[in-house]
DNA sequence: ATGTAAGCGAGACGGTACGTCACGTCTTCAC
DNA sequence: GTGAAGACGTGACGTACCGTCTCGCTTACAT
């Protein structure tokens, strides 16, 4: 008969701790202390830090977000970007999301859970917005949907989670417009990756190994 | 008179620890043990974990990466994407970069150092590739260079560091081509954010608050 | 709520460490390791190495030893010498006692504790055995009890703790007999220190300063 | 060609350190610092802390002390006691001697060295004073010389090194007289350890095991 | 109404890491 | 070659948390 108020307090405490110190430094002890609760109360609910975080994060992600369906690719995209913007502006999410994504690179269970959450949640940008656009004939059926998702989400995620600089007014609509145009380009369909001004064979020699003695160059 | 070989061993150990456990869990003791060295050897070089990581990361980032200068925006972009791809494919970088970027959201010193590294290192994608393209007349002088950088880097970073799925053959050239086209679009210059198919004023009301009880929705 | 079994393990470990390396080299870390216990378990019980040793040694010393009371000075002495012999033959005591006594010359707290332990424990050879002998008329009431204690304990302690050579059979009874006779001698009562063959004032000139340049001669 | 002044300074420093912290805590570093000298200066002279201490202590002990030879056992003893008193009153010796003797119980090399020093130095109380007394007929040839040494040295050592209480005036002459009488007693010759008031065989049962659970009783 | 089960906090336990200090060893320079 | 200087690994310091585990206390359901 676990007490619900304690469970809620723990959930909130976990999110705050995740934001403040990240998954790596998150400790059961701090969570319990923050929730004003004994450590046993935590272990009675989840067997480990990982289980605890996975459970809480999964549950949160399930909070359905409204999927846009305006009938036009451009409008769908603009609304989607606004949603993403809104979510990632949230204090907690802005800290927790990149942290968990980074942790996912180390911990397969986290990666899996996040993937599952994304998938269950949206079924997805790709499958819905793009799918509908294809059905409407706005996009070519041959489009590489993975690459399309990169184009749609990538720039905004980079700006919000990495650069973390303010968006100038009009940024989101402009990004929506540019992305829409790019997606419509026939370049997005794999068969003919022929660039406008072809660089015959530029690649390998131009790029030096770039790997220093012992470590890896840190650059993005 | 610090011994160089020990310093190198420590540098390598720090990178490996960063990759394995992340900045949050990185401990001086483990670094020293991994490098086969006493803790004192670490403290003789850096006063704290933060100073150590900042120094090592800065130094690594300084390893100049060759900046493309082919004379055409498209070719520059393609080469740039190849470089980024190459760097982020590296085992260590793939783990360390997102981790440090997430940590940067918490630790201003890390944020600052990473920014400085990026800036010093490239002076930058924006200032060079874009600048030269503008000089050549390939891009409008009024272009929002911040947004342009988001467009260039965002999709590939998302794919390599977040989605972490394999790139299909032809991905990079296609991305370069699409991005080039998008940058050239008159949409990228702020004055006239008039989209092709304008969405009159859809924004705010469409998107619900989306903030659950205590936490934030986890979505990207 | 400290666990008694752990306290016991620590006590034993302290004694063994004291025997092996002495008070000077005794370290909390080794004690804990030897007891198969965390350092915290030690610090939860005693605040410092000194407090720990003092407590343990005090408690051990309190283990009442049976005080002889046979009705005759000689028998009391013989039994006392047997007790002392038995105690100092014990592996641990043989190492720990001289070590702590030497340390006591440096550390007043140790000196005090040892004195207190001795006093509380026996109330003492002087006050009891000698006292009863005086009451019985076996010894003169004017006897210098301090000197008497020196006579009683000194030879055996020297033999067991310093010379550390085996006792020949009959040693203890003989020592008891000789000591008894000496104590009974009228020489032991201060008023008349007149020796049999008095050496009027031989002392000073015969004995050279004997102090070398920088150190002191090591002799006993 | 090691510099003599530095060697002397080191010798003095070693003795002072021995007195202040004892052999266990004595460290090359402190010795060198105290002598105002580099650590290398020490290691060039002695290979280890043990070798250093052994060498210095041996050399000091060799400083011949004048052996009394007055022609009477009592006078010899009184002078001997005065010498011992004088030596053990010396600040350094009072600390160093018991410390090294305690350490000798752990370290065979120290034990051996001290024994050798004593032997070489005196050839000895036993062999000389007692020997001469036997030759003069003052003592029985059958006397247990080891036990005799215990009787001679033990009480004073106990008083000076263990009890460490002031000697009342007349203490040494009285002790010399009592000891002389005791040595002359026919009890000191093994064959007949018959005591005045014989306690047939009281020993074993009277004395309880006295060994507590885990440690050893600390008593002297 | 009482007994039993379970949630709860408190906190002792063995660990790990902290940042510092002292040490014995070894190497590098100045004389 | 003698000396000082100091970097090196080791190990201990006393503290702080951590995850685990064992306690009494209390609450609440079932008898």
A98: exposed, middle or buried (C-beta count within 10 Å: 0-12, 13-18, 19+)? buried
Residues on chain C touching D196 (C-beta within 8 angstroms): 74, 177, 180-181
A35 with A9: CB under 8 angstroms? yes
B158 with A158: CB under 8 angstroms? yes
Tell me which residue in A11, A23, A203 faces B82 most closely, judged by beta carbons: A203
Ranges A165-174, B22-31, D147-156, D199-208: which has the least confidence = D199-208
Structure tokens at C157: 């302690």
The pLDDT value given to residue C1: 80
Q: Is B154 a residue whose pLDDT tops 90?
A: yes
pLDDT: is A107 or C197 the higher one?
A107
The pLDDT value given to residue C5: 92
The pLDDT value given to residue C150: 94
Q: List chain F nucleotides near protein: any atom < 7 Å from a Cβ.
A: 1-23, 28-29
C211 with D193: CB under 8 angstroms? no
Q: For residue C217, what pLDDT band results from cuts at 50, 70 and 90?
A: very low
DSSP state at residue A139: S
Q: For residue A149, what pLDDT band results from cuts at 50, 70 and 90?
A: very high
Exposure pattern of A67-95 as b/e (b: 16+ CB <10 Å)? bbebebbbbbbbbbbbbbbbbbebebbbb
The pLDDT value given to residue C66: 72
The pLDDT value given to residue C149: 93
Q: Is C200 on the interface with D (CB under 8 A)?
A: no
- Cα of A91 to nearest chain B Cα, Å: 8
The CA–C1' separation of A42 and F18, in angstroms, is 14
The pLDDT value given to residue C101: 94
CA distance B33 to B45: 16
Rg over CA atoms, chain C: 21
Q: Is D192 on the interface with C (CB under 8 A)?
A: no
CA distance D87 to A14: 72
The neighbours of chain B, by the rule of 3 or more Cβ pairs under 8 Å, are A
For residue A43, which phi and psi values (nearest 5 degrees)? Answer: -70, -20
The CA–C1' separation of B83 and E19, in angstroms, is 40
Contact A218 B61 (CB under 8 A): yes
Q: For residue A128, what pLDDT band results from cuts at 50, 70 and 90?
A: confident
Going by C-beta distance under 8 Å and a sequence separation of 6 or more, which residues neighbour residue B99?
A: A102, A103, A105, B18, B22, B23
Mean local confidence (pLDDT), B80-90: 91
Q: Is A60 on the interface with B (CB under 8 A)?
A: yes
- Between the CA of residue D197 and those of D66, D204, D205, what are the distances in Å? 41, 19, 19
Count helices and strands (H / E) in chain D.
Answer: 11, 0
Residues on chain A touching B193 (C-beta within 8 angstroms): 170, 173-174, 177
Residues on chain B touching A96 (C-beta within 8 angstroms): 216, 218
Exposure pattern of D122-143 as b/e (b: 16+ CB <10 Å)? bebbeebbbebbbeeebbbeeb
D166: exposed, middle or buried (C-beta count within 10 Å: 0-12, 13-18, 19+)? exposed
Nearest to A90 by CA among B220, B110, B98: B220
Q: Is B99 a residue whose pLDDT tops 90?
A: yes
Residues on chain C touching D77 (C-beta within 8 angstroms): none
Mean local confidence (pLDDT), B108-136: 83
Q: Is C190 a residue whose pLDDT tops 80?
A: no
CA distance D150 to C158: 6
CA distance B106 to D25: 47
Tell me which residue in C12, C121, C185 faces D181 most closely, judged by beta carbons: C185
Percent of chain B scoring above 90 in pLDDT: 65
DSSP string across C140-179: -TT--HHHHHHHHHHHHHIIIIII--PPPTTHHHHHHHHH
C188 with D193: CB under 8 angstroms? no
Mean local confidence (pLDDT), C194-219: 43
DSSP state at residue D196: S
Q: How many Cα neighbours within 13 Å face the side chain of D120? A: 15
Structure tokens at A80: 């989607």
CA distance B176 to B183: 10
Mean local confidence (pLDDT), A40-68: 83
The helix (run of H) or strand (run of E) holding residue C117 is helix C108-122
The structure tokens 């590739």 sit at B129
CA distance B185 to A181: 9
Q: Is A157 a residue whose pLDDT tops 90?
A: yes
DSSP state at residue D105: T
Q: For residue B60, what pLDDT band results from cuts at 50, 70 and 90?
A: confident
pTM, two decimal places: 0.81
CA distance D145 to D147: 5
Contact C187 D178 (CB under 8 A): yes
Torsion angle of the four alpha carbons C194, C200, C204, C206, in this order, in degrees rounded to the nearest 10: -110
Instruction: Give the orientation angle of helix B73-89 with respect to helix B91-104, to 10 degrees.
Output: 100
The structure tokens 């993937």 sit at A115
CA distance D83 to D71: 17
Contact C207 D181 (CB under 8 A): no
Contact B218 A60 (CB under 8 A): yes
CA distance B88 to B204: 36
Tell me which residue in B105, B165, B206 faces A94 most closely, judged by beta carbons: B105
Q: How many other CB atoms are found less than 10 A from the CB of residue A212?
A: 16
Structure tokens at C207: 């004995």
Residues on chain D touching C112 (C-beta within 8 angstroms): none
Going by C-beta distance under 8 Å and a sequence separation of 6 or more, which residues neighbour residue C193?
A: C187, D170, D173, D174, D177
Q: Is B68 a residue whose pLDDT tops 90?
A: no
Q: List chain E nucleotides near protein: any atom < 7 Å from a Cβ.
A: 6-28
Contact C102 D22 (CB under 8 A): yes
Torsion angle of the four alpha carbons D34, D39, D45, D50, in this order, in degrees rounded to the nearest 10: 80
Instruction: Round to the nearest angstrom and report the end-to-end CA distance of chain C.
Output: 49
Q: Which residue of D has its CA nearest to C203?
A: D79
Q: How many other CB atoms are found less than 10 A from the CB of residue B208?
A: 11
CA distance D163 to C152: 13
For residue D164, which phi and psi values (nearest 5 degrees)? Answer: 55, 40
DSSP state at residue D199: -
pLDDT: is B60 or C161 the higher one?
C161
DSSP string across chain B: ---HHHHHHHHHHHHHHHHHHHHHH--HHHHHHHHT--HHHHHHH-SSHHHHHHHHHHHHHHSPPPPP--SSHHHHHHHHHHHHHHHHHSHHHHHHHHHHHHHHTT-HHHHHHHHHHHHHHHS-IIIIIIHHHHHHTSS-TT--HHHHHHHHHHHHHIIIIII--PPPTTHHHHHHHHHHHHHHSGGGSTT----SS---S-HHHHS-----SSS-----
Q: For residue B59, what pLDDT band results from cuts at 50, 70 and 90?
A: confident
Q: Closest CA to F1 C1' — which residue?
A: D1
Structure tokens at B4: 């160089």
Tell me which residue in D87, D156, D174 faces C193 most closely, judged by beta carbons: D174
- Proximity of residue A49 CB to strand F below 7 A: yes
Tell me which residue in C60, C103, C154 faces D155 most closely, judged by beta carbons: C154
Q: Is B87 a residue whose pLDDT tops 80?
A: yes
CA distance D11 to D35: 9
| B159-207 confidence digits (pLDDT tens) | 999 999 999 999 999 999 999 999 998 887 765 444 554 444 444 444 4
Interface of C with D in 26-55 (CB under 8 A): none
The pLDDT value given to residue C80: 92
Q: Sign of the CA dihedral C98, C103, C105, C107?
A: negative
The helix (run of H) or strand (run of E) holding residue A142 is none
Ranges under pLDDT 70 in chain D: 1, 61-65, 120-123, 125-126, 190-220
Instruction: Round to the nearest angstrom and report the end-to-end CA distance of chain A.
Output: 49
Q: Is B115 a residue whose pLDDT tops 80?
A: yes
Mean local confidence (pLDDT), C182-193: 75
CA distance D11 to D4: 10
CA distance A105 to B96: 10
Q: Is C160 on the interface with D (CB under 8 A)?
A: no
Ranges A54-68, B159-173, C23-37: which has the least confidence = A54-68
The pLDDT value given to residue C119: 74
Q: Is A192 on the interface with B (CB under 8 A)?
A: no
CA distance C31 to C20: 11
Going by C-beta distance under 8 Å and a sequence separation of 6 or more, which residues neighbour residue C107?
A: C50
The pLDDT value given to residue A117: 80
Q: Is B119 a residue whose pLDDT tops 70?
A: yes
The CA–C1' separation of B91 and E17, in angstroms, is 27
Nearest to C88 by CA among C74, C103, C101: C101
Residues on chain A touching B75 (C-beta within 8 angstroms): 197, 199, 202
Q: Is A209 a residue whose pLDDT tops 60?
A: no
| Nearest nt by C1' to C3 Cα | E12
């Amino acid at each position: 008969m676990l007490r619900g108020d304690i469970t809620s307090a723990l959930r909130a405490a976990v999110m705050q701790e995740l934001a403040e110190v990240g998954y790596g430094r998150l400790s059961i002890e701090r969570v319990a202390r923050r929730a004003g609760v004994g450590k046993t109360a935590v272990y009675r609910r989840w067997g480990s830090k990982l289980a605890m975080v996975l459970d809480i994060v999964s549950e949160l992600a399930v909070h359905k977000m409204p999927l846009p369906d305006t009938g036009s690719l451009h409008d769908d995209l603009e609304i989607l970007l606004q949603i993403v913007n809104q979510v990632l502006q949230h204090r907690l999410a802005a800290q927790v999301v990149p942290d968990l994504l980074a942790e996912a690179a180390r911990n397969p269970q986290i990666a899996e859970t996040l993937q599952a959450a994304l998938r269950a949640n949206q079924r997805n940008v790709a499958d819905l917005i793009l799918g509908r656009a294809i059905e409407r004939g706005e996009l070519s059926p041959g489009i590489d949907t993975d690459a399309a998702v990169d184009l749609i989400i990538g720039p905004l995620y980079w700006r919000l989670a990495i650069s973390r600089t303010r968006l100038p007014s009009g940024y989101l609509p402009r990004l929506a417009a540019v992305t829409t145009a790019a997606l419509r380009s026939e370049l997005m369909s794999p068969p003919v990756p022929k660039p406008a001004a072809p660089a015959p064979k530029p690649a390998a020699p131009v790029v030096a190994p770039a790997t220093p003695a012992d470590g890896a160059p840190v650059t993005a």
